[in-house]
Structure 1
Amino acid sequence: MSLEKLHIAVLMGGWSNERPVSLMSGEGVAAALEERGHRVTRIDMGRDVAQKLADAAPDVVFNALHGAPGEDGTVQGMMDLMGLAYTHSGLATSVIAIDKELTKQALVPHGVPMPGGRIVASEELYERDPLARPYVLKPVNEGSSVGVAIVTEGGNYGNPIGRDTRGPWQEFAQLLAEPYIRGRELTTAVLGDRALMVTELKPKSGFYDFDSKYTDGMTEHVCPAEIPEEITRACLDLALLCHRLLGCKGCSRTDFRWDDERGLDGLFVLETNTQPGMTPLSLVPEQARHLGIGYADLVEAIIEEALGKDERA
């Protein structure tokens, strides 16, 4: 790829739970762009982010933020008002995709298989289970498996869940309760309008939580996944469908749970991430690399799409 030399602001950090990951993503992106000869301004987002962006006056912003307010539409709306070109998805897409319940409302009517479940007030959990055990509790609008708990029959959360037991119910007023789907963790990246590959994730802890995602050696990545061709094809097709239905730009990553005892009927979409990680352990760069797309080429491809589209979802 031959991208003209640009002034690019790399927006990273912020104050979400995913700040450390964002800083790693942002630094990786910035270093790759500098190696390609671009002028880079690194911006660790604070409350003065608008002023920093105005002062920098970049040609384009690479949004390497993860979590709110960099992935939920807040920063996107600000940059829209400022007239800045930026990578990844726009305001409306970001608002919907970070909210797991809104995502279901957008995708399920179009035939995307997703787990059932409902929003529950955390206070309710101290009185009764919202679903039959085992079930999963997760924040409605957090990423990177932040605050996810699997409630099992013989688990250590109590029955009902104890008020003083450590878990996401102490941190969030509302949670999404979903049936637990046994089986395997799969993920597929989309770049532009192309689904890349399917990776199977095998966490050594048995649960693909925040630490398993971002601690070297805690999760085995099998890329490409050793799964039947029909499951590979379904993951690729569904990831691209989710990307298009949600109106994603640049790259996205759709995560799946697959009950391999049920075949195609056991495949479920969990969520679509509109700003996937770009760290050394991240899945999008890994899948791109397997297809011969180097890290710097991946970064420039995301920027190229940002500069090629004026309208944002």
Structure 2
Amino acid sequence: MFDLSSIDPRALGKVAVMFGGTSAERPVSLMSGAGVLAALQSLGVDAQAFDPAERPLQALKDEGFTRAFIALHGRGGEDGTVQGALEWLGIPYTGSGVAASAMAMDKTTTKRIWLAEGLSTPPHLALSRAELTRERIRAIPDTLGLPVMVKPPHEGSSIGISKAKGYSDMQGAVDLALQYDDELLFETCIDGPELTCAVLGDGPAAQALPVVEIRAVGGEYNFENKYISDATEYVFGSLTATLEAEVQALVLKAYRLLGCRGWGRADLMLRRSDQKPFLLEMNTSPGMTSHSLVPKAAAQVGLPYPSLCLWLLAQARLDSRA
């Protein structure tokens, strides 16, 4: 599936590596994009940096770019917005199309789709800013139990997320999340290890990569432990073969239900009491930093970072030509 022998880097044309952008995840995107750009250039691809925060998207067409590698994260880059613009410009791009990107970026919508098809995801409530009275906030743990995860559903990279361990923590967690979103997602906190599983490919041919168990300092896989600290451990092979296969099958179903293509990464929790996996979210433009998990998983199947970037770029296409 990952045969690179037929890919001629020069035949891929003039490539825009899109990174930076205007979302709260801009710092992470800058790191991802720098890595992708260097990798593609090292293989002979005519790849150039393109930051949508600094240049109009029409410049992609005007300057003769023929493909785009999307290394943008968050709103404006991972939510179908840029994908739609590239469709209009007729420039093939990496990753999922407009609809799948938009659905996956909204954690609440994603959960509703998964639940409708019987896939496991933690119990949750979605409430708008107007609904978040003090009385309503204090009552949420009565429904979901404690601890409660409080999330802005349209952000990634753990931005704005916190764990409310008691009733007294709820208001502070809500105030933080409301800095990033006008609708919040409240989720039962599953007790157990956090897992992630990447997928490469499309439809029936999509392949789940090895599952990673994340062991963060203090059990908190926050922004610091994701992108800055070197203390977080990423462990392959910690699951039994049967459980690994179960997680991979669940992730593939989740990926296909959303209509994802190219690549993606699902984050999950594994309930300690019965080893049941629960889906948290699907990332359609995963990180490509030195700490990122898709490159780590791809390396486990013989696809080093530069080769992964080249393979993903070769898969670039438009919804209209899918």
Report the TM-score when normalising by structure 2.
0.89
1:160 CA drift (Å): 5.8
Measured in 2, the distance between the counterparts of 1:56 and 1:212 equals 39
Q: SS in structure 1 opposite 2:268?
A: strand
1:307 CA drift (Å): 4.4
Correspondence for 1:138 among 151, 164, 179? 151
Q: How does 1:35-184 map to 2 (within 5 A)?
A: 35-46=42-53, 48-122=55-129, 124=132, 126-127=134-135, 128-132=138-142, 133-153=146-166, 158=168, 161=171, 167-184=176-193
Measured in 1, the distance between the counterparts of 2:58 and 2:239 equals 49
Partner of 1:185: 194
1:52 CA drift (Å): 2.4
Q: SS in structure 1 opposite 2:171?
A: coil
Measured in 2, the distance between the counterparts of 1:242 and 1:188 equals 11
Partner of 2:267: 255
Is residue 2:31 matched to residue 1:24?
yes
Kindly, what percent of the aligned residue pairs are identical?
38
Quote the RMSD (CA, aligned, Å). 2.0
In structure 1, the gaps of 5 or more residues are: none
Measured in 1, the distance between the counterparts of 2:133 and 2:233 equals 34
1:228 CA drift (Å): 2.4
In structure 2, the gaps of 5 or more residues are: none
Measured in 2, the distance between the counterparts of 1:188 and 1:118 equals 25
Report the TM-score when normalising by structure 1.
0.91
Measured in 1, the distance between the counterparts of 2:128 and 2:218 equals 29
Measured in 2, the distance between the counterparts of 1:81 and 1:51 equals 10
Partner of 1:220: 233
Q: SS in structure 1 opposite 2:287?
A: coil
| Alpha-carbon displacement from aligned partner over 1:142-165 (angstroms, at most 9, x marks no partner) | 1111111111127xxx266259x9
2:199 and 2:264 in contact (8 A); partners too: yes
1:102 CA drift (Å): 0.9
Q: Which amino acid aligns with 2:37?
A: A
Q: SS in structure 2 opposite 1:200?
A: strand
Measured in 2, the distance between the counterparts of 1:166 and 1:74 equals 27
Q: Which amino acid aligns with 1:68?
A: R
1:310 CA drift (Å): 5.0
| Alpha-carbon displacement from aligned partner over 1:222-275 (angstroms, at most 9, x marks no partner) | 123x12222211111111111211111111001110112212xx3100011001
Q: SS in structure 2 opposite 1:201?
A: strand
Q: How does 1:293-312 map to 2 (within 5 A)?
A: 293-307=303-317, 311-312=321-322
1:9 and 1:56 in contact (8 A); partners too: no
